[in-house]
Amino acid sequence: MTPTALQSASPRLRRRERMYREYMTFFEHAEKHRRWNPMHDIPWEQLESQRFHDEVDQRMGAEAKARLATCLETFCGVELFIPDYTKNGLNLSRDIFGQAWFHLAWGYEESKHALVFREYLLRSGLRTLDQYMDYEEEVLKTEWTLPFASNRQMACYGALQEIATFMIYIQQRNAYRQMGNEVLAKLFDFVARDEAAHAAFYRNFMRFEYEEDPEGTAQDLAYVISNFEMPGEKLVPEFERRLQVEGVAISSQDFLLHGIMPTLKSIGLTRRDMVRAMRKQTPPVVTPHAQPDLELAAA
């Protein structure tokens, strides 16, 4: 479809064509620059080396190992719901080729994250197979359902959730790179790159929605921010306790400054735009413990 024809097309056709193009860009970049193999691209052999045990593993100590095990186990637990995430996402977007195919590619890439977290837990000895299987069985007693009703609201949620996860993984990567643990540094580098690409796709989707419907998109994003929580809060056993473990989460202030604000900017919204949209919500439905303080940040 030519640019002129696209401009004169209906909003529905413009969305379908735009999402097709966005997906093709996402797919091409992934195939050329971002594909990785969890079995062959992680230096697993280092876990068996004497250097690893002498310089890295022994230096960590029991407390640091326990923190790492909790982090990896929690991350893996969230990823175990990939069938639910993908199924529900496809139900919302099945008539938009580019977005539906993105959900399938997203599910594939996230499944590699679950696999690589599991492999490190078991290969490093942080968890036995029986311990891991008991945990997996407990996690999968729950089923994930959509936290928001519309396709656009879920795209807003996806953009925020993916950038939050990216920030968590980058934090982990930097810590283990500094420690000299090349296995974990490489592992978190790969998964963080994927999360950045996912966040970018959702941001592009939201930018298009904002061009088509500025007020509606701002209202949807304001509603999602006001009621945002990470999926693990309702899915992973003892999630509140796990949040107290260093490395599992990021602070709400960091999320505001390095997650929410760059997302607004990428769409074309300002902080004041978002504050105004939040004030227009009738009634304003807010989850106090989950909402970053945009009012305070705007002062």
Dihedral sign from CA coordinates of 106, 109, 112, 114? negative
pLDDT digits (tens, 9 = 90+) for 172-198: 999 999 999 999 999 999 999 999 999
3-state SS, residue 231: coil
- pTM above threshold 0.85: yes
Residues 74, 118: Cα–Cα separation, whole Å? 10
Burial category of 95 from C-beta neighbours within 10 Å (exposed 0-12, middle 13-18, buried 19 and up):
exposed
Q: What is the pLDDT of residue 55?
A: 81
- DSSP for 7-41? HHS-HHHHHHHHHHHHHHHHHHHIIIII---TTTS
Which band of pLDDT confidence, cut at 50, 70 and 90, is reported for residue 137?
A: very high
pLDDT digits (tens, 9 = 90+) for 65-108: 999 999 999 999 999 999 999 999 999 988 899 999 999 999 99
Residues 9, 251: Cα–Cα separation, whole Å? 44
Helices (H), 129-179: 129-139, 151-179
Q: What is the pLDDT of residue 59?
A: 82
Which band of pLDDT confidence, cut at 50, 70 and 90, is reported for residue 8?
A: low
Q: What is the pLDDT of residue 289?
A: 40
The first and second tokens of residue 186, run together, are 């490489």
Q: Smallest Cα–Cα separation from 148: which of 253, 207, 221?
A: 221
Which band of pLDDT confidence, cut at 50, 70 and 90, is reported for residue 286?
A: very low
CATH (residue range 43-298):
1.10.620.20
What is the rounded average pLDDT of the residues 263-274?
93
70 contacts: CB under 8 Å, gap ≥ 6: 242, 245, 248
Backbone angles phi, psi at 45, to 5 degrees: -60, -25
Give the whole-number percent of the chain exceeding pLDDT 90.
76
Does residue 13 have a pLDDT over 60?
A: yes
Q: Give the number of residues written for the chain.
A: 299
Dihedral sign from CA coordinates of 25, 31, 34, 38? positive
Residue type, 67: R
The rounded mean pLDDT for the chain is 90
What is the rounded average pLDDT of the residues 1-23?
79
Q: What is the pLDDT of residue 296?
A: 35
Cβ count within 10 A of residue 129: 10
Which band of pLDDT confidence, cut at 50, 70 and 90, is reported for residue 161?
A: very high
Q: What is the pLDDT of residue 295?
A: 43
What is the rounded average pLDDT of the residues 48-70?
87
